[in-house]
Amino acid sequence: MQNFVFYNPTKLIFGKGTIRRIGPEIARFGVKKVLLLAGGGSIKQNGVYQQVIESLKENKIQWVEHWGVRPNPILTHANEGIEIVRQNNLEGILAVGGGSVIDEAKSIAAGVYLDNLWDAFERRVKIEKALPVFTVLTISATCSEMDPYAVLTNEQEKKKWNIEGTALFPKVSIIDPSVQFTLPWEQTVYGAVDALSHIMEYYFQGKGEEPTLSLDESLMLSIFRSVDKLKENPLDYPSRATLAWSAVLALNGFSGAGLYGGDWACHTIEHGISALHPEVAHGAGLAVVFPAWIKYIHPLNESQFLRWANNIFGKSNVESAVQALKDKYRSWGAPVSLRELSISKDEIPKIIELILQANTIRNIGNIKNLDFNDLYEILNIAY
């Protein structure tokens, strides 16, 4: 097992009826004025917004609202948020929504202290400090509520890149799984696919690190079981709670401990797809990319992929397990081919060009640093 440091300072408050605790938690940090960041307005329909603002009022916390975060958040909107923070002398960011809202909140929190936010994504500057970020989660997927990462798209340059830094860990995150009862089915599915993908990015680099690998297998199986049950009954609270907690554990540090940092090629490939096609949900893109990547890359760590095939799907070979994964995703209604994303074969070279832009700051994968030919093969398998 590789040496590692486990560090996660986020306080997580989990369970039914916990949203009203956000006000006291913000006040505990001495923050009196926040930017309330949100997406398209669903939080006003499911009762979350009302609970949040009542809690803020009760604790004498002022807020300024910034709506309109996209499912693939963009640099322009984040820069608008930075200006709102500066103009109103706000002291913290409260993200109410899913991973996209939280990612943009972290970007704003860091950008307040930078001359140019995108410089951090280009690795030209380090993130040394950020405003405190607080979150109320409404969809379980990214674990942005309990990790130090954020993804943003520079829409002009079509770069969907990430930042990271310990200053980006949220101070407090609240997860009430019951507010996810009203999610559209596809959002539940794409959140589950994203969480599974986080686990697999780490898992497939494994070389026999039993405690972490066993944890990862349990998490994958828990997610499969909970989504199958939610397909039958979206109001099944134990399954909602299982999915929500599994999504946290997928990327809060536990699932990758000792596993060499993870591979992350599939996420980078998906970022290239959704940079060109922002309408493609992150989880939808991952459902397409991951099976193709496994099929292509598995000979380079054959024993680990065979362990996955056997322990997760009861299969004796990787090809059969890949088909089982695709069948599971299909049963949930997720796409498993680029065609289903309405992407033409002629667009593959452009997608690869966008993916390879990221090679200036990191490898495209760690099991193998993928080049143009590798990416071309994987995307053709995915087609």
pLDDT higher than 90, residue 309: yes
Report the pLDDT averaged over residues 264-283.
Answer: 96
pLDDT band per the 50, 70, 90 thresholds, residue 15:
very high
pLDDT band per the 50, 70, 90 thresholds, residue 359:
confident
Length of the chain equals 383
- Spatial distance between the Cα atoms of 154 and 114, rounded to a whole number of angstroms: 16
- pLDDT at site 202: 97
Contacts of 41 (CB under 8 A, 6+ apart): 67
Report the pLDDT averaged over residues 29-50.
Answer: 96
Indicate the average pLDDT of the chain.
Answer: 97
Report the pLDDT averaged over residues 51-73.
Answer: 97
- Spatial distance between the Cα atoms of 154 and 167, rounded to a whole number of angstroms: 22
In contact, 107 and 77? CB cutoff 8 Å = no
- pLDDT at site 61: 98
Report the pLDDT averaged over residues 45-58.
Answer: 97
- pLDDT at site 362: 86
Judged by DSSP in three states, 137 sits in strand
Consecutive H or E run containing 202: helix 185-203
Pull the structure tokens for residue 282.
């992150």
- pLDDT at site 192: 98
In contact, 235 and 181? CB cutoff 8 Å = yes
Pull the structure tokens for residue 262.
């993870």
pLDDT higher than 90, residue 1: no
Report the pLDDT averaged over residues 232-239.
Answer: 98
CATH of domain 184-382: 1.20.1090.10
Report the pLDDT averaged over residues 68-76.
Answer: 96
- Spatial distance between the Cα atoms of 48 and 199, rounded to a whole number of angstroms: 29
- pLDDT at site 360: 82
Q: In the chain, which residues fall in CATH 1.20.1090.10?
A: 184-382
Q: Which residues of 341-370 are buried (b: 16+ CB within 10 A; e: fewer)?
A: bebeeeebeebbebbbbbeeeeebbbbeeb
- pLDDT at site 124: 96
In contact, 178 and 238? CB cutoff 8 Å = no
Q: In the chain, which residues fall in CATH 3.40.50.1970?
A: 11-178
pLDDT higher than 90, residue 239: yes
In contact, 295 and 239? CB cutoff 8 Å = no
pLDDT tens digits, 141-183: 999 999 999 999 999 999 999 999 999 999 999 999 999 999 9
pLDDT higher than 90, residue 2: no
From 285, 287, 279, select the one nearest 71 (Cα to Cα). Answer: 279
Q: 11-178 architecture in CATH?
A: 3-Layer(aba) Sandwich (3.40)
- pLDDT at site 361: 84
Q: Give percent of the chain with pLDDT exceeding 90.
A: 97
- pLDDT at site 358: 87
- pLDDT at site 108: 98
